[in-house]
Amino acid sequence: MSDVAIQIKGLGKRYRLGGVRKGYKTLRESIVAAALSPFRRFSAAGKAESSEGMFWALKDVNFEVGQGEVIGVIGRNGAGKSTLLKVLSRITDPTEGEVEINGRVGSLLEVGTGFHPELTGRENVYLNGAILGMRRAEITRRFGEIVEFAEVERFLDTPVKYYSSGMYMRLAFAVAAHLEPEILVVDEVLAVGDMQFQKKCLGKMESVAAAGRTVLFVSHNIGAVRTLCQRVVWLESGRLKMIGDTDEVTLRYLSTGTDSDGVIHPSQHIKGSGKVRIEQASLSDSTGVKKESFLIGEAVRLTLKFKVHTPTVGSFWIFIISGEGVVLLSAFQRDTIPSVELDKDGEASVTIDAPALLPGTYTLTAGIFETSGDFLDWVEGVAKFEIMKQFADGRPFDHRYGAMTAQLAWQMGG
């Protein structure tokens, strides 16, 4: 058997802008379509089309994935990540180039892909297993584990079109991870669901990777990518920006921040209803002087300008992320002041002054919760700043370990 699980040569995918979105197919149409494309090797048909109104979601992408390798795929929204996974999952055909896949592929893409909405949860589990080439006895053997993981036993005989997005994703992930395909393709598994579910997903992903299966993992969670993946593919505007060692690629990726004027790029909004959107971010010291470099222990003030599209009630939050992609600290407005009426455009500010960050480069991610707990906005990399090798009180940096330091209350006893 080849030691290459996936080989991609000159891959390109082009879409016509403003095309009409098709509704879902009937079960019969879905089965017929699957029967007409049984091969793992495919290439573009090469039909000539006018270039007017066309958009290249992927262009000239080339790389290989080895058997048992865990590859991360990163990039801003619109970079082509999901399109790449749809091509690999045979959901869409390439416009040009060639892909060779050696092994059964199990896919977990965005909510709505992979299950038929008219079928029940139980029926979709068996249908997905059959599509993966598994016998009914094999699916039955794993069925109990799938249901237990997904926590949707009460709704198994309900058509999935009535499921919430969280229920849908739990069952979809459980099927994709437990039916043991040779190649698992996962697109932003952490985008839906509560924190407990997200931890379960990461734990399962780690066990899948440890079992030696090939995994392609798309995520905006750079910390998860660094934990799970051996190599990383970085896509930008549909092209391969960089591929290589996880640490090297993610550090380069994290070093790309917002525009110099602090305006948030549309691709940085990775989730949220959009009723309220963060439009601009700026950093300053405690006196209001704008800057991006600070001393150890110096207060860092983040100001977020937001635009209200639909009035609501909500609260803000931030993550401080290290240069290695690790979330060092999370802070929530609701911990100190209650949610506020968001009925007109305005700004929110937060001062980061404890604990003190040690020298390095840090990224801030910010967002807004609605009172229901749903996201109004989640903005990746709203700002980036550097902590220099000197304390705010004038002392030189003494090369202490860790990412943060604090002046604690010490007591000496006899």
pLDDT score recorded for residue 259: 47
CA distance 144 to 153: 10
Per CATH, which fold does 4-254 belong to?
Rossmann fold (3.40.50)
pLDDT score recorded for residue 129: 76
Q: What's the length of the chain?
A: 414
pLDDT digits (tens, 9 = 90+) for 33-70: 555 554 445 555 444 455 567 889 999 999 999 988 99
Contacts of 93 (CB under 8 A, 6+ apart): 42, 44, 45, 87
Specify which residues 52 forms β-bridges with.
Answer: none
Contacts of 339 (CB under 8 A, 6+ apart): 313, 314, 315, 333, 369, 371
DSSP 102-156: -S-EEEE-STTSSS-TTSBHHHHHHHHHHHTT--HHHHHHHHHHHHHHHT-GGGT
pTM for this predicted structure? 0.61
Q: Which CATH superfamily is domain 266-397 in?
A: abc- transporter (atp binding component) like domain (2.70.50.60)
CA distance 328 to 387: 14
Q: Which amino acid is at 240?
A: L
H-run or E-run covering 379: strand 375-391
Specify the DSSP class assigned to residue 221. -
Burial 100-137 (b: 16+ CB within 10 A, else e): bbbbbbbbbbbbeebbbeebbbbbbbbbbbebbebeee
CA nearest neighbour of 246 among 227, 224, 230: 230
pLDDT score recorded for residue 115: 77
Residue tagged 């006893």 (tokens): 413
Domains 4-254 and 266-397 share a fold: no
Task: With a cut of 70, list the residues of the chain below it in pLDDT.
Answer: 1-2, 18-52, 108-114, 132-133, 188-196, 254-261, 414
Domain boundaries, the chain: 4-254, 266-397
Q: Which amino acid is at 295?
A: L
